[in-house]
Amino acid sequence: MPASDPDRGSRKRRIEREFGVPFPGEIRDEAEWTRTGLKSLPAGRIDWTALFGRNAPVVLDLGCGNGRFLIGSAVWRPDRNHLGVDILPLVIRYATRRANQRGLNNIRFAVSGGHELLAGHVAPASVSEIHCYHPQPYYEASEISKRLITPEFLLLVHRCLEPGGEFFLQTDNPGYWRYMREVVPVFFEFEERSRTWPDAPKGRTRREILALRRGLPVFRGHGRARRDLTPEQALARAAELPLPVFNADRALQALDDLERSDS
């Protein structure tokens, strides 16, 4: 571009940073912004082709927070459709605004619980990836029933993934991880990963970036749904497994305040 180009300034790359780490994608000119927020999820099972206006593999992020991982995936993998949900309207507003400003057409965000999305809106064998980064450990004894990762939830993830589909799970809470390691391999060929994901050496998500900056361990794993389990067997195994009643260690709660702060 010649130095005398009158549009040069307005075409400067607009990169945002969060805790010093670039947020994926670039803010486009307003004329290119899209609308990625859903007022609510469609009633009943989602028709993915109708929702995105095309047929493509679907990637879900449950408890997506500000959408950092999913927006990066949508920027770098334009050939996939993405849906992120979170129960907090505020974080969905942040995620939606950033996705809109990046002019993305292959991503949607909605306020919803992860369990509710899978149980009520996702047809069996209809999505190719399900991601769940740093699900809330819920420290108070009275909130234990809100923990997302349960045998019943894993059964739903197993049911919703298409053959060969993958589940990604990550936490910085050692108690939650011990529980996940016990139950997840029943339904998935689960591989643990000690290093950061290759696409995000400083962290895939806001929470991972914060945990790494604090020097906390981050536990990661992923795997394909076991195909040797019939739906009946999966149901029977789920009934035998323990519920997530681990001690989440309240000392780790300090990171939550940082997570809520502005970067």
Which residues contribute to the site for ligand SAM (CB under 6 A)?
62-65, 85-88, 91, 113-115, 133-136, 148, 205-208
CA distance 256 to 234: 34
Please tell me the total number of residues recorded for the chain in this structure.
263
User: Cβ of residue 119: shortest distance to ligand SAM, in angstroms?
Assistant: 11
Q: Measured from the CB atom, is 28 or 135 closer to ligand SAM?
A: 135
Count CB neighbours of 44 within 10 A. Answer: 9
Please say which residue, 63 or 165, places its beta carbon nearer to ligand SAM: 63
Between 62 and 160, name the residue whose CB sits nearer to ligand SAM: 62
The tokens describing 31, both together, are 């004329």
Closest to ligand SAM by CB, 64 vs 104, is 64
Q: How far is the CB of 63 from ligand SAM (least distance, A)?
A: 3
* Residue with smallest beta-carbon separation from ligand SAM: 65
The SS3 call for residue 43 is coil
3 state DSSP class of 168: strand
- Min. distance of Cβ 207 from ligand SAM in angstroms? 3
The Cα-based distances of 159 to 47, 119, 224 in angstroms read 17, 10, 12
Q: How far is the CB of 236 from ligand SAM (least distance, A)?
A: 25
φ and ψ of 138, to 5 deg: 55, 100
